[in-house]
Amino acid sequence: MTESDGKPHQGPAAPGGDPEYADRVYRSVPGVISGVLLLAVAAWLIGDAVVTGTGKTPYVALAAVPVFAFPVIAYTLRPAVFAGSDRLVVRNPWRTITAPWASVAALRAGYSVELLAGEKKYQVWAVPVSLRQRKRATRAQSRGNAEHASRTGLGLGLAGRTNPVVHGAPDPTRAWSDQVTDVLQEMAERNGTRPGAAGPVVVRWCWWVIAPSLVGLVALITVIVV
């Protein structure tokens, strides 16, 4: 799966004659940036503690690495949504939900974006809802002013400018999360009848994040107590 600009890229024809398209990828760009900054600051602080610390300090700092690093990676760098022709893959901090389009009942954006599939509800971490964006989009809609739209970055902020939704310019009168939700809902309705879109929802836990975090926590407690 490759990074997408929000536009479907036509590829080789499928066996049924329909063209194949690369997956659309959506993620929170501000979240990724904040994760990188947090990891950089933590690396500097932990490195300084290991080099200059005395007593238990270097060992406590080293034991704290997985306890801090893996959750930060899970909540900032890992979340992403991959929308293909047959299925929707939602990569959340601790789990990955693979939902064939036929199993998707709805996608909705309230205070968070939710996926309803397989008679269950899942949060979509990669598409955070910003009330500030919604207020900004509402002001742009009420004013209907092109100058205002350009001054507010098309009303979508950093995520909207670097993570487009559809062909051409994004809609300045709607928040990025609401536009993404509508695109995914439309894809579910359009692709739900495809032969390859059938099947159950599959949920997999991200053990490469969970296990090191738990092991690091045990090691940190042991170093502090002993």
Over residues 174-191, the pLDDT tens digits come to 788 889 999 999 999 999
> Does residue 4 belong to any structural domain of this protein?
no
Q: What is the DSSP string of 83-132?
A: E-SSEEEEE-SSEEEEEEGGGEEEEEESSSEEEEETTEEEE-TTS---HH
The pLDDT tens digits for 73-97 are 999 999 999 999 999 999 999 999 9
> Does residue 3 belong to any structural domain of this protein?
no
Amino acid letter, 153: G
CA torsion angle for 33, 35, 41, 47 (degrees, to 10)? -130
Q: Distance between CA atoms of 79 and 76, rounded to whole angstroms? A: 7
> Does residue 137 belong to any structural domain of this protein?
yes
pLDDT for 154: 42
> Does residue 203 belong to any structural domain of this protein?
yes
**Parent domain of 65:** 10-225
> Does residue 5 belong to any structural domain of this protein?
no
> Does residue 103 belong to any structural domain of this protein?
yes
Give how many domains the chain has, as a whole number.
Answer: 1
Percentage, residues of the chain above pLDDT 70: 74
pLDDT for 23: 82
User: Residue 200, SS3?
Assistant: coil
> Does residue 17 belong to any structural domain of this protein?
yes
Question: Strands (DSSP E) along the chain, which ranges?
Answer: 10-13, 19-21, 24-26, 80-83, 87-91, 95-100, 104-109, 113-117, 120-123, 202-205
pLDDT band with cut points at 50, 70 and 90 for residue 41 = very high
Higher pLDDT, 200 or 13: 200
2-6, 98-102, 155-159: range with lowest mean pLDDT: 2-6
Q: Distance between CA atoms of 34 and 30, rounded to whole angstroms? A: 6
State the average pLDDT over residues 194-213: 95
> Does residue 85 belong to any structural domain of this protein?
yes
